[in-house]
Amino acid sequence: MSATRSWASKPLDIGVPGPTPLDMARELRSIRADPLSFLSAVTEQYGDLVAFPVPGAPALLLNDPVDVRHVLQTSARNWGKQTIQYAALSRVTGPGLLASSEPNWIEHRRVAAPAFHHQRLEAVADQVRAAADAAIAERLGGDVAAGGALVDVAALTHRIGLDAVGRALFSTDLSGHAQRLLDATSDAATLVYRLGRSVLQTAAWAPTPTNLRLRSTYRRLDAISADLVAQRRGGRPAAGGSHGDDLLGLLLDSGMSDAEIRHELVTMVIAGHETVAAALAWTLMLLAEDQAVQDRLRAELTQHGGPVSLMGHRETLPWTRAVVDESLRLFPPAWALSRRSRGEDVIAGHPVPAGTLAIISPWLVHRRSESWPDPLTFRPDRFLGATGTPPGYLPFGQGPRLCIGREFALGEMVVVLSRLLTTYQVDVPDGWSRPRAEAKVAVHPHGGMPLVVTRLGRTGS
Ligand code: HEM
Of all protein residues, the one whose alpha carbon is nearest to atom 12 of ligand 1 is 397
Q: Is the CB of 268 under 6 A from ligand 1?
A: yes
Atom of ligand 1 nearest to the CA of 333: 5
Q: How far is the CA of 257 from the centre of ligand 1 (A)?
A: 23
* Ligand 1 lined by 404 (C-beta under 6 Å): yes
Residues 6+ apart with CB under 8 A from 346: 352
Residues 6+ apart with CB under 8 A from 180: 220, 224
Cα of 455 to ligand 1 centre, how many Å?
A: 33
Task: Give residue 98 CA to ligand 1 midpoint distance, Å.
Answer: 7
CA atoms of 456 and 424, how far apart (whole Å): 5
Q: Which helix (H) or strand (E) holds 361?
A: none
Atom nearest to 339 CA in ligand 1: 16
DSSP secondary structure of 378-422: --GGGGTT--SPPTT--TT--GGG--TTHHHHHHHHHHHHHHHHT
Choose one of 85, 280, 403 to mutate for the ligand 1 pocket test, by most ligand atoms within 8 angstroms of C-beta. Answer: 403
How many domains is the chain built from?
Answer: 1
**CATH, residue 76:** 1.10.630.10
Task: Look up the domain containing 74 and give its range.
Answer: 21-455
Distance CA 130, CA 166 (A): 11
Nearest to 257 by CA among 448, 43, 432, 108: 108
Query: Phi and psi at residue 169, in whole multiples of 5°?
Result: -100, -30
In the reported structure, the alpha carbon of residue 275 is separated from the centroid of ligand 1 by a whole-number distance in angstroms of 8
User: Is residue 124 in contact with ligand 1, taking CB distance under 6 Å?
Assistant: no
Q: What's the pTM?
A: 0.92
Check if the beta carbon of residue 409 is closer than 8 Å to that of residue 313: no
Handedness of CA 391, 376, 410, 317 (dihedral sign): negative
Query: Considering the domain boundaries, does residue 15 fall inside one?
Result: no
| Index of the ligand 1 atom closest to the CA of residue 410 | 1
Atom 16 (ligand 1) nearest CA? 337
What whole-number distance in Å separates Cα of residue 434 and Cα of residue 451? 10
| Pocket lining: 225 vs ligand 1, CB cutoff 6 Å | no
399 lines ligand 1 (CB under 6 A): no
Nearest residue CA, atom 21 of ligand 1?
403
Structural domain includes residue 16: no
Residue 156 included in any domain: yes
CA distances for 89 relative to 23, 93, 206, angstroms: 28, 6, 17
The answer to whether residue 14 sits within a structural domain is no
Residue 458 Cα to ligand 1 middle (Å): 36
Could you tell me if residue 1 is inside a domain? Answer: no
> Residue 402 C-alpha to ligand 1 middle, in angstroms?
7
- 13 found inside a domain: no
Is position 5 within any domain?
Answer: no
Judged by DSSP in three states, 427 sits in: strand
Is 337 a pocket residue for ligand 1 (Cβ < 6 Å)?
yes
Give a yes or no: residue 3 inside a domain: no
Given the CA of residue 402, which atom of ligand 1 is nearest to it? Answer: 12
- Overall residue count recorded for the chain in this entry: 461
Residues of the chain under the 70 pLDDT cut: 1-11, 142-143, 145-146, 173-179, 181-182, 189, 191-212, 236-240, 458-461
What's the pLDDT at 433? 97
| pLDDT single digits (tens) 378-400 | 999 999 988 889 999 999 999 99
Would the CB of 395 count as within 6 Å of ligand 1?
yes
Helix (H) or strand (E) segment spanning residue 15: none
Q: Where are the alpha helices (DSSP H) in 21-174?
A: 21-33, 35-46, 65-69, 84-93, 105-112, 118-123, 125-140, 153-170
Name the residue of 70, 81, 98 to mutate for ligand 1: max ligand atoms within 8 A of Cβ. Answer: 98
State the pLDDT at residue 178: 56
